[in-house]
Amino acid sequence: MRGRLGAGKASSTTTSGQQTLTVTDDNSYWDSGQCPSSGLQSSSSDTPRDGTENGLPQSSADNQTPTDDSDDWAPPPSDSDAFSEPQSNGDFFDTTNQGNSYENSVSGRGCIHCKGPHPPSECPSRPKSGNCFCCRESGHMVNECPSRNGQRQRPDSRQCHKCGRTGHIAEYCSQSASERSSGNCANCGGRGHSAMQCPSPALTAGRGDGFHYENGSSGEAQGGFQSARAGNQAPVDAVCRSCQETGHFFHNCPKRVGAKDEAPSTGPYCPVIETTEEEAVNRNKTGINFDQYDKIDVTVSNSRGQETKEYETKKLDRFQDGNLDARLIEMIERLGFEKPTPVQRYSLPILADGKDLMACAQTGSGKTAAFVLPMVNMLIRQNCSFERNTRPQKPFALVLTPTRELTVQITKDAQAYCVRTDIAVKECYGGTGRMTQAKNIARGCHLLVGTTGRVLDFLNDGIICLSRLRYLVLDEADRMLDFGFQNAVDEIMQHPSRNRNSTIQTLMFSATFSTSVQDLARKYLREDFVKLDVGVVGAVNSDVSQSVLEVPKAEKKLRLLDLIREEIDRDAKTRILVFVETKRDCDFIAMFLSSSKIKATSIHGDRLQDQREKALKDFQEGDCPVLVATSVAARGLDISGVSHVINYDLPTEIDEYVHRVGRTGRVGNKGRATSFFDSFRDNAIRDDLRRSILDGGSEPPDFL
């Protein structure tokens, strides 16, 4: 062991018998108990060999504290000295001495045993103590053992990690990388694959003691004392907590939330939306209360807020009266729409007059068709065309949406109306393959539907430009004009590629329009814009039956479970949409329902886009009758067959509540909405919730 007594001095320690001596560069020796560096005093009365007293070297003045010019002592190094470069005048290594001898390499000091010019490990006079690690005998070290290559090998010698053979370690393995084994499979014992990739079935039993596999290896590497368990397989008697079946863990359960039968994707999600006529026909149908739309009050006013009767004579009672292209009329009839809804009845003539429009209509009242049909009809009438496989593409109409799911839905709806025409409807939204969408748009685009981020990205990269833009639509406009989207909307509308000499017709649609949002929207509309109000602004659809239950937080899960079970027992084909406030609770509630043997899935902003679309598809097709969602699914989604919306957590604003419960009771179909009210959490929405229930014709509960 080498020690350091002070700056510029070196020491080393050797053991002889039971006494430990410390040697310095000037051939002074201390007992281990008298070393001045240790601060300890030996009980021995022996004095050091250089004649010092009490184990401390004395200066010429015979002072207790040596002076700075003492050759035998120096103050301890400071923190900064600890990492300084070694010096040539006494540090342990002399970097200025370039000699090759061992004596030169350690500042003139030789072997610590005999002071000879050789390393201590080669000293013939070094003390011999301890046993050889190979043969367990004394008198030599393992590298000098005469039995090293004979019969007496080390009892616990190990195999090479690379080739599996004994006699050497992996560092000195002679096999090439391609010849080296990757180890045995923990399931079948074979080579060339891991237990997760093993084609053989899971082991059926261990050795019976629960501590080993059948091949003799322990189970600790796979997570504990489990018998017959591979890295991706559960013990035979273990039960998955999701499906209550054996043979797999919960995280590998094919029935778990978000599970997919196909192999994991190895690249970006690259969907291309192409709606066929058969798919379009199988979409939503009108309900038994569709005729009730005729009784809804409609108000048309000018930009100054004055009601006008100009469009009372221009409104459409039939689609055939709207001067629509014959191919559009045929497709409308094929889709099963016999007459227009109030928002469609007034929007078509207003847009035909070239007016900007701000429309507020109830959820599920057909707002998408209200702006798609007149735009597509005018593009057909004006014979608008594009150049294929060119960049940038110059769409004539642009629809901006707040969510990816709404982008997909509007694209499918617009393609359904245009399936018999030459109008090309394309989409662009985040979470998907960027180049796939760019190539799809480059094939030709009349009408582009997208989220603000991806549209702005394509504009800045020259994939699209706005030089020929004639129509701009903000769907869910109140959401598009809040702080999260307003800057992006401004940047799109003021983009340099926009033709300043042409007039762009701007359309805004939503189910809720607060006064502040209406004032903000005026700066995007021309002075002669028209405002259309269908029914009570910001009210819940009259086809939705509302109920509120007072449920403390601790009882919500069990109350939700009872409510869903009652609904499923009453109608096995029902579809229930559960809204929660946080992404974490979204997954947690879906897992809780799945573990309770209720097929459920979840959708929120942290899930990948393919997972979100898969969850919606499973819900729409009835594979998972319960969908747990955050507010990402509250806006605009038109899911057929949703009979019940449950607000597990109430939102903080009444507009959000209106959009949530608007996912049911659409296009004349009856719906039901149930909300859990927690008096400690939901007081902010109490008054607005009470007013909403009264406007819907129901009596609010006493606790409201």
Q: Structure pTM?
A: 0.61
The Cα 700–Cα 704 span in angstroms is: 7
* Side-chain-side CA neighbours of residue 259 (13 Å): 19
Q: What is the pLDDT of residue 485?
A: 86
| Residues with Cβ within 8 Å of residue 111, at least 6 apart in sequence | 102, 117, 118, 119, 120, 123
275 or 170, which is more confident? 275
Angle of helix 367-381 versus helix 404-418 axis, rounded to 10: 50
Q: What is the pLDDT of residue 127?
A: 66
Q: What is the pLDDT of residue 525?
A: 92
C-beta of residue 512 within 8 angstroms of C-beta of residue 655 = yes
With a cut of 70, say whether residue 98 has pLDDT above it: no
Q: What is the pLDDT of residue 462?
A: 93
Q: Among 510, 534, 558, give the residue marking a domain's end.
A: 534
Using DSSP's 3-state secondary structure scheme, residue 212 falls into strand
Structure tokens at 680: 């400690």
Structure tokens at 575: 């579809």
Closest CA to 129 of 147, 113, 146: 113
Q: Range with the lowest mean pLDDT among 146-160, 532-546, 554-568, 636-650?
A: 146-160
Statement to judge: residues 503 and 600 lie in one domain: no
| Structure letter (DSSP) for residue 484 | T
With a cut of 70, say whether residue 562 has pLDDT above it: yes
The Cα 258–Cα 247 span in angstroms is: 19
The Cα 154–Cα 133 span in angstroms is: 7
Res. 46 pLDDT band, cuts 50 70 90: very low
Q: Taking residues 60-72, what's their average pLDDT?
A: 42
Res. 52 pLDDT band, cuts 50 70 90: very low
Statement to judge: residues 433 and 523 lie in one domain: yes
With a cut of 70, say whether residue 681 has pLDDT above it: yes
3 state SS for 441-459:
HHCCCCEEEEEHHHHHHHH
The Cα 512–Cα 539 span in angstroms is: 8
pLDDT in tens, 152-205: 444 445 677 667 777 677 766 766 544 444 456 766 767 666 666 666 655 544
Q: Among 486, 509, 534, give the residue marking a domain's end.
A: 534
Q: Taking residues 247-266, what's their average pLDDT?
A: 59
Q: What is the pLDDT of residue 149?
A: 60
Q: What is the CATH number of the domain that holds 432?
A: 3.40.50.300
pLDDT in tens, 282-341: 765 555 456 666 677 888 998 888 888 888 888 888 898 888 999 999 999 998 888 898
Q: What is the pLDDT of residue 358?
A: 93
- The residue range of the domain holding 213 is 158-234
| Residues with Cβ within 8 Å of residue 315, at least 6 apart in sequence | 345, 346, 349
Q: Taking residues 241-265, what's their average pLDDT?
A: 62
The Cα 632–Cα 413 span in angstroms is: 19
What residues form DSSP beta bridges with 20? 15
Q: Taking residues 439-446, what's their average pLDDT?
A: 94
pLDDT in tens, 601-646: 999 988 998 899 999 999 988 899 999 999 888 887 777 788 999 9
Q: Considering the domain boundaries, does residue 126 fall inside one?
A: no
Domain count, the chain: 3
Q: Taking residues 515-526, what's their average pLDDT?
A: 87
Q: Among 515, 534, 553, give the residue marking a domain's end.
A: 534
312 or 507, which is more confident? 507
Q: Considering the domain boundaries, does residue 305 fall inside one?
A: yes
Q: Quickly tell me which residue has 């192999």 as its tokens.
A: 263
Structure tokens at 406: 């709404």
Statement to judge: residues 460 and 599 lie in one domain: no
Q: Range with the lowest mean pLDDT among 2-11, 167-176, 480-489?
A: 2-11
Statement to judge: residues 488 and 528 lie in one domain: yes
Backbone angles phi, psi at 418, to 5 degrees: -100, 5
Structure tokens at 96: 């200025």
Q: What is the pLDDT of residue 60?
A: 40
246 or 468, which is more confident? 468
Statement to judge: residues 530 and 548 lie in one domain: no
Angle of helix 654-661 versus helix 686-695 axis, rounded to 10: 40
| Residues with Cβ within 8 Å of residue 162, at least 6 apart in sequence | 170, 173, 175, 180, 181
Statement to judge: residues 493 and 605 lie in one domain: no
Q: Range with the lowest mean pLDDT among 76-90, 227-241, 337-351?
A: 76-90
| Structure letter (DSSP) for residue 286 | -
Q: Considering the domain boundaries, does residue 621 fall inside one?
A: yes
Q: What is the pLDDT of residue 638?
A: 76
Q: Considering the domain boundaries, does residue 18 fall inside one?
A: no
* Side-chain-side CA neighbours of residue 559 (13 Å): 19
Structure tokens at 246: 């054996």
Statement to judge: residues 329 and 210 lie in one domain: no
Q: What is the pLDDT of residue 128?
A: 60
C-beta of residue 444 within 8 angstroms of C-beta of residue 371 = no
pLDDT in tens, 351-405: 999 999 999 988 878 889 999 999 999 999 988 888 888 889 999 999 999 999 8
Statement to judge: residues 564 and 498 lie in one domain: no
Statement to judge: residues 440 and 560 lie in one domain: no
C-beta of residue 454 within 8 angstroms of C-beta of residue 437 = yes
C-beta of residue 35 within 8 angstroms of C-beta of residue 27 = no
Q: What is the pLDDT of residue 59?
A: 42
Closest CA to 188 of 177, 176, 199: 199
Structure tokens at 22: 């410390």
The Cα 350–Cα 669 span in angstroms is: 28
With a cut of 70, say whether residue 107 has pLDDT above it: no
The Cα 128–Cα 164 span in angstroms is: 35
Q: What is the pLDDT of residue 700?
A: 86
Closest CA to 672 of 636, 635, 644: 644
533 or 241, which is more confident? 533
Handedness of CA 189, 190, 192, 196 (dihedral sign): negative
Q: What is the pLDDT of residue 135?
A: 75
266 or 275, which is more confident? 275
160 or 229, which is more confident? 160
Task: Please report, for residues 108, 234, 502, 513, the alpha-carbon distance to residue 57 in angstroms, rounded to integers and kept in the order given.
Answer: 22, 71, 99, 92
Statement to judge: residues 180 and 317 lie in one domain: no
Statement to judge: residues 668 and 585 lie in one domain: yes
Q: What is the pLDDT of residue 161?
A: 67
What average pLDDT is seen over the chain?
75
Burial of residue 703, with CB atoms counted within 10 A of its CB: 0-12 exposed, 13-18 middle, 19 or more buried: exposed
The Cα 161–Cα 505 span in angstroms is: 72
Structure tokens at 691: 């007013």
With a cut of 90, say whether residue 590 has pLDDT above it: yes
Q: Considering the domain boundaries, does residue 360 fall inside one?
A: yes
Which of 515-524, 582-591, 631-640 has the highest average model confidence (pLDDT)? 582-591
Q: Considering the domain boundaries, does residue 595 fall inside one?
A: yes
Q: What torsion, rounded to 10 degrees, do the Cα atoms 271, 273, 277, 278 define?
A: 30
Statement to judge: residues 471 and 511 lie in one domain: yes
Q: Considering the domain boundaries, does residue 134 fall inside one?
A: no
Q: Considering the domain boundaries, does residue 66 fall inside one?
A: no
pLDDT above 70 covers what percent of the chain?
66
Q: What is the pLDDT of residue 37?
A: 44
